[in-house]
Amino acid sequence: MRSPFPGMDPYLERSELWQGLHHLLIVEVARLLSPQLRPKYRVALFVRMYEASNTDNSLSVGIPDVAVKPEQVTSNPSTSPVAVLSPPTAQPATAMLPMPETLKQGYLEIRNVATKEVITTIEILSPTNKRAGEGRKAYLAKRRRIFRSATHLVEIDLLRSAKPMPVLDNNIESDYRILVSRSDRRPLADLYRFNVRDAIPSFTLPLQSDDAEPVIDLQPLLNSVYDLGGFDTAVDYSKEPTLNISKTDAEWVDALLKQQSLR
């Protein structure tokens, strides 16, 4: 089973699905590259961890909507001149606490086996990277370190939400993008732009000079992950995507899904 979309499936951008998709896709990229790069290179999988809390998702602490007031009691001069307050009768409200949470995110490094040098880093961005906060600051700091080094960077952004990673041409807009930054070409880089109606473009993985560079075609990998993860059973295509989508794209999505009898 594959996604009904020709490229990135916008329904998979939902937060409850993205973490699983990210993990499976990064493993599939490693599975694709490892046999092609041996024995000179090793495809190493690393896990980065972020400390966050549930308030990062705009969850609010519960506030009671009932004002608790002491019950007013009228004194009875025939018994006692002292007024006695009755105990509060209102029930407590449920409050949500900001709980600490550790978020894990995988990425790949292509390393020269002989020298242990990191030749290329492959990142698939997550909401943590793109949303304002510590996650974005940490990723941007890593990005700057790579740009000052001899390491190539492949940055894959399959999320329409939040702010894209910075490039100098602010007029470049698209739903999704893939950045291939070769260390010997900086500050120039290849930016592949595509939208929800487009297939995901393939690109060449940068390596050391004079080495054969494999082509990464994410589309069949995404199709494989969609089937492996059983995402067709987790998505209700009769509803609109969670994230905002333009009116013209929404009409296209509606026609596409009706054509495949999913609406």
Q: What is the mean pLDDT of residues 19-35?
A: 96
The domain limits of the chain are 10-53+101-237
Amino acid 214: pLDDT: 97
**pLDDT given for residue 84 in this prediction:** 63
The answer to whether residues 144 and 121 touch, using CB atoms and an 8 Å cutoff, is: no
Task: Indicate the pLDDT class of residue 60, thresholds 50, 70 and 90.
Answer: very low
pLDDT digits (tens, 9 = 90+) for 183-208: 999 999 999 999 999 999 999 999 99
pLDDT number for residue 90 = 75
Over range 63-87, report the average pLDDT. Answer: 46
Give the per-residue pLDDT at 65: 30
CATH topology (fold) of 10-53+101-237: tt1808, chain A (3.90.1570)
Asked whether the predicted pLDDT for residue 88 surpasses 80, the reply is no
pLDDT, one tens digit per residue, over 127-166 is: 888 988 888 999 999 999 999 999 999 999 999 988 899 9
Question: Residue 124: its pLDDT value, please?
Answer: 97
Indicate the residue type of 233.
Answer: T
